[in-house]
Amino acid sequence: MPSSVIREFEYDSYRHQLFVTFVSGKTYVYDRVPPDVHEAFQAYRSKGTFFNRFIRDRYRTREVRIAS
């Protein structure tokens, strides 16, 4: 998953939450993300472009701290 902005992402299909970790190291959770949006995000070549067009500012968001 090459991206200059997004390091990795995970989807909790039970809670419909998308966890996105940016290259900065910060992780955010996006609530109520439908499965089809996650699937499209996974398939899209440019993760940053898809994120900016279809996820950013569209879902309730909060920063999360992932325990090491």
Span 2-32, pLDDT tens digits? 578 999 999 999 999 999 999 999 999 999 9
41 in Cβ contact with 47 (< 8 Å): yes
What does pTM read for this prediction?
A: 0.90
28 in Cβ contact with 64 (< 8 Å): yes
- How far, in Å, are 4, 16, 22, 24, 29 from residue 12 at the CA level? 24, 6, 18, 22, 10
